[in-house]
Amino acid sequence: MINPFANALDAQREGFEAMADGLEKASVAPERAGPLAKIEVGETPSEVVYTENKLELLHYKPEDAGIEVPEEEQCDVPILIVYALINKPYILDLQAERSVVRRLLEAGHDVYLIDWNEPSRMDQYLTLDDYVNRYIHNCVEEVAERTGNEQINVLGYCMGGTMTAMYAALHPEKVNAMALMAAGLYFDDTGGVLEEWGSDEYYDPEDVTSAFGNVPAGMLDVGFALMDPVDNFVSKYVRLYDNLENEDFVENFARMERWLDEGIDLAGAAYEQFLGDIYQENKLYKNELYLDGKHVDVENIDMPLLQLMGEYDHLIPAAASKPFNDVVGADDIETIEYPTGHIGLSVSGSSHEDVWPRAAEWFHEQSEDVELEEAATEIEIGDGADAATEAGEEPEAGGPPAEDDEIEVETPESEDGEQATLTDEEGADSVDTVNGIGPTYAERLEAAGIETTADLAAADAATVAEAAEVSASRAQDWIDQVA
C-alpha cells in the first residue's frame, strides 16, 4: 500500500537538504568574495619596449617568468602576437597554467604582444589602414630590429587575426610564418551569430559611430552576452553557486569575469570598415579589399600558415576561417580544429595540453630553415677568414683591420680651422621621438632629408606627408608636436 504521506515527506526532506547545502555554501561565501575582488591576471612579467599613440608593445622573457629553456631549444625567430581591438589581451595570459604566452615561452620562443589599450575620442577616425600599415607594421619593424631578423613569426587572435592576414598580404617579405587563431576571414552564410546580426539587411554600423564616435565597450559586451543569454545570465552563476566550495573554480570564474568586465571601446572608423568590408561584403576573402588605396592581395600570403579554430566557436565558427585556406598563395597550410569554444582556445585546460604544444612546435619547424640559413652564413664567413689565416695570406684590401692596427678618422674642420663636431643640430632629437612616428615613417622622412625634430619643425605638412606617405593632417600633427 502506498504511503499517502511519502511524497510530502520526500519533498520536505529535499527541502531540508537544500537548506543545509545553502547554509554550508553561505558559510564559505565571504571567503570566496575576496578572490572575486582581488584576483590577479596577466602575471607573466613583461616590459614595454615600444609605444605609439595608445599601444604598448610588450616583450616577455623566459628568465623573468622563472622559465629555463636550454639554449639549443630556443628559437631565434621571434613571435609577435597581434591581439584583437576588443577586450584586453591578458586572456592570453590569464594564469600560469592557462597562459598562451607561457606555453610559447616554455617552448623556447621569444614572445612579443601588442596591447592596444583604450582609444580616446581623438582616435575615432583611426582606420584599418592605420592599424595594419602603421601600428602593426611599426611593431613588426621594432621586433625585427631588436632581434636582428629580416622576417618574424606572427600570431593573430580573433579580429587581430584578420588584421594579421591583411598585414601578411601587404608585407609578405616581413613574415616568416603566420598562425591565425579564431580569425574571421570568410563571411558568407557560415552560420555565425555575429554574421547574421551584422548583416546589412538589419544593421548599419554608421548608426552607432555617428552617435558615439567610438563603439562603446558596454554595447559590445551586451551584444556578445546576448548571443548565449541563458548561459551568460543564468547558467554560469548556477555553476558558481554549485562550486562555491571549490577555491580553484571560484578563482578561475573571477579571472574570466574580470576579463569580460574590462572591455575597451573600438575606434569608430575601423569598426565601420571591419563591419562593412569584412562582414557584410566579404572583401578580404574575395580579394577585393583595399586599405588606403593599397590592394590587400591575399595571394601574396605565401608563407607557412597555421589556422587554429574552435569546433564549438559560436562567435567565429570554423566555417568563417577554413575557406580562407583556398584563396591564399601558401602551399604549406596546417589546420587544427579543436573541440572547444572561442575563448576555450585560449584558456581551456585541454587546449593547453593538446593545441598549444603543437602550435609551439609548428613555429619551431617553420623557423628551422631560417636558423640554418643564418648558421650557414656565419660558418661561410668564419671559414673564409680562418682559411686565409691558416694559409698565411694577408687580408684583402678593404677587409677588417687587425686588432693591433690603429684606424685614423679625419674630422672635418670648420671654416676657422677648428675641428667640427659630428653631431646632429644641437638640441634636436631624431624624428622617431615624435609620437606617431615609428621606424618605418622615420626611415621615409630621413630619406627625404627630414632627420631631426628641427628638420620636421621647419618643413611644411605637404612635404612631410609626401615623404612619409601619410595624410596631410597626420603630417601637420607631427609638426605641431615639435613646433
158 is catalytic: yes
Look over the chain and give the mean of its residue pLDDT values, rounded to a whole number.
Answer: 81
pLDDT on residue 188: 80
pLDDT at 374 over 90: no
In the chain, the percentage of residues whose pLDDT exceeds 90 is: 48
Q: Which CATH architecture does the domain made up of 431-482 adopt?
A: Orthogonal Bundle (1.10)
- Give every strand in the sheet of 175-181, ordered side by side: 46-52, 55-60, 111-115, 79-82, 152-157, 175-181, 305-310, 333-338
Instruction: Kindly state the average pLDDT of the residues 470-481.
Output: 77
From 59, 342, 352, 364, active-site residue: 342
Q: Is pLDDT of 415 > 70?
A: no
Q: What are 82's strand-pairing partners?
A: 114, 156
Percent of all residues in the chain with a pLDDT value above 70, rounded to a whole number = 73
Residue 427 has pLDDT above 90, yes or no: no
> How high is the pLDDT of residue 455?
92
Assign 168 a pLDDT band (cuts: 50, 70, 90): very high
Residue 28 has pLDDT above 70, yes or no: no
| pLDDT score for 21 | 58
Per-residue model confidence (pLDDT) at position 463: 93
Q: Is 383 a catalytic residue?
A: no
Quick one: pLDDT at residue 383? 54
pLDDT tens sequence across 192-247: 556 555 666 667 888 888 888 898 877 776 666 666 676 766 777 777 777 777 77
In this predicted structure, what is the pLDDT of residue 419? 42
Active site residue: 129, 265, 313, 455, which one? 313
Range ranked top by mean pLDDT from 40-49, 215-224, 377-386, 474-483: 40-49
Confidence grade of residue 37 (pLDDT, cut at 50, 70, 90): low
- CATH 3.40.50.1820 positions along the chain are 37-217+265-372
Can you tell me the mean pLDDT for 339-357?
A: 93
pLDDT at position 235 is 78
331 is catalytic: no
d(CA 157, CA 89): 10
- Greatest mean pLDDT range, 258-267, 303-312, 380-389: 303-312
pLDDT at 343 over 60: yes
Q: How confident is the model over 120-163, as pLDDT tens digits?
A: 999 999 999 999 999 999 999 999 999 999 999 999 999 999 99
Residues of the chain with CATH 1.10.150: 431-482
Q: Which three cell numbers stand for residue 108?
A: 623556447
Q: Which of 93, 110, 123, 158 is labelled catalytic?
A: 158
Above 50 in pLDDT, residue 15? yes
Which fold is adopted by the domain 37-217+265-372?
Answer: Rossmann fold (3.40.50)
pLDDT digits (tens, 9 = 90+) for 80-131: 999 999 889 989 998 889 999 999 999 999 999 999 999 999 999 999 999 9
Residue 410's pLDDT is what?
A: 43
pTM above threshold 0.75: no
